[in-house]
Structure 1
């Protein structure tokens, strides 16, 4: 018989690595080791890779339905020998989202669901929209949403509307039916927001001198965040890297074609931790306590360690953008009497 309960809490850290890349219908490069930083120490626990504009011409798309597409095949062949398992993937025409994890975590990833939303021509064509995967990771509900939104400078408001539409229409059913019901949401992809007003000379001179901060006030996504309350709930690391669009293929020179597209941070990675005020009172996963220094101590915390573009890949007119995170997950270890331990994920 138990004589009493003793409860202790600890936080476990897991490393998450995310990539977004508009591959411009190109075939995979021969090597993606540097893109995925597979030799990083400590090793990554979760990889989430979102691609846009995977080749989806009718014949190729039908072929990919029968056999795995070339990007998924290449990533599987690269990561499986390193001890990673592909847990799931979801594709909508050119949009592709893949989830890999270390084998040790497989038993603790549950309730995997995927869905997609079309926002292309009249809402029926899947060349634009969002694909997502949600799952429980050690008892915490995470959702990853890979989007490809409307292009061109003058469609910033349409991009926000499309994102709202995707959030409103995606439905996973069960306990967390909507994207924003999840404890943590990662929103990423070719969001297509541009840098407004500045001329080409000012853009290029600011980029060449690495004075990226001179461009932030005219970045359309940062501008929209000031106007739209729901966007303000999403965090993003500082844009201290070269804009990832638009490049001449097979090089690191910004667009020299007749169109001369302006450089922009079209490819982004943001995240949102569900605000405590939106959590039901009986939702244990959303309960926060106070730390010794008086700050709120949430059951899961997200810390970004790196956010940048990788300039070494030239198969597309976009450079891949990646971010690394630490997921700090609270667990409770409860001892009943002197006889046994009960592990509870909170």
Structure 2
């Protein structure tokens, strides 16, 4: 269930909202039981309703949304930009159970923004420490499967990586490699996060896997986000 207030989550209380033109929100593990899916098919799901209600006073409108079971992607923009957003396409790729189940995979929204081709790609990749190679394989599958349904006039962005800018995010499930959990907790408690970066599976993949060479990640100035004690921001005391 969504929380009652997502103001801080969306940084709407920082005073920077006037500087923000677009907001893309990726959700994973949204309730996708069959009775919930049937209700959401008839009505807007609760998460989407909440974001629309919260963002509309700031002049944002929902440009596009795509859902694959529990994976949802919503793209908002200021209403006065709408005439300059064109060629909007969505796609989804299932990778769970050999491609038959949408609990894992990726959803995307592709569009032209003032003539520049942008792609937002929200993924939920396989879990567990030892599945790093499968995560990379699934990402490759998603990139291969998601080709534009139609060639856009005057545009060369037929595949994900052909766009001018690609935003890749979600529950990517890359873990910290080869470090004892006691050291991980010690490093977190003592703000020694740089010692964890070197063993981050995604950082390792970026230096060894050519397909990631064009991606840039913001600074990891926050503790690992998996796992927390349920209902808290306390890092896994079990």
Equivalent residue, structure 2, for 1:161: 137
Equivalent residue, structure 2, for 1:29: 3
Equivalent residue, structure 2, for 1:182: 163
**2:108 matches 1:132:** yes
1:155 counterpart SS class: helix
Question: In the TM superposition, what is the alpha-carbon distance from 1:43 to its structure 2 partner?
Answer: 3.3
**2:211 matches 1:224:** no
Higher relative CO (Cα under 8 Å, sequence separation at least 6) belongs to 1
Match of residue 86, structure 2, among 86, 102, 110: 110
Stretches of structure 2 that go unaligned for 5 or more consecutive residues are none
The CA distance in 1 between the partners of 2:219 and 2:233, in whole Å, is: 22
Equivalent residue, structure 2, for 1:88: 64
The CA distance in 2 between the partners of 1:107 and 1:216, in whole Å, is: 42
Q: What TM-score, normalized by structure 2, do the two folds share?
A: 0.94
Stretches of structure 1 that go unaligned for 5 or more consecutive residues are 1-26, 258-346
The CA distance in 1 between the partners of 2:221 and 2:59, in whole Å, is: 32
Write the deviation string for residues 190-247 of structure 1: whole angstroms up to 9, x where unpaired: 1000001111110011111111100111111111112111111111122111111111
The CA distance in 1 between the partners of 2:206 and 2:52, in whole Å, is: 36
Equivalent residue, structure 1, for 2:196: 215
The CA distance in 2 between the partners of 1:50 and 1:71, in whole Å, is: 11
**2:221 matches 1:243:** no
Question: In the TM superposition, what is the alpha-carbon distance from 1:255 to its structure 2 partner?
Answer: 2.3
Higher Cα Rg: structure 1 or 2?
Answer: 1
After the TM superposition, which residues 281-320 of structure 1 pair with which residues of structure 2 at under 5 Å, given as runs? none
Q: What TM-score, normalized by structure 1, do the two folds share?
A: 0.65
- Greater fraction of residues in helix: 2
The CA distance in 2 between the partners of 1:135 and 1:184, in whole Å, is: 11
Equivalent residue, structure 1, for 2:235: 254
**2:168 matches 1:194:** no
Equivalent residue, structure 1, for 2:146: 170
Q: Which aligned segments of 4 or more residues in structure 1 are displaced greater than 6 angstroms?
A: none
The CA distance in 1 between the partners of 2:138 and 2:172, in whole Å, is: 10
After the TM superposition, which residues 8-19 of structure 1 pair with which residues of structure 2 at under 5 Å, given as runs? none
Equivalent residue, structure 2, for 1:333: none
| RMSD across aligned positions (CA) | 1.1
Question: In the TM superposition, what is the alpha-carbon distance from 1:256 to its structure 2 partner?
Answer: 3.6
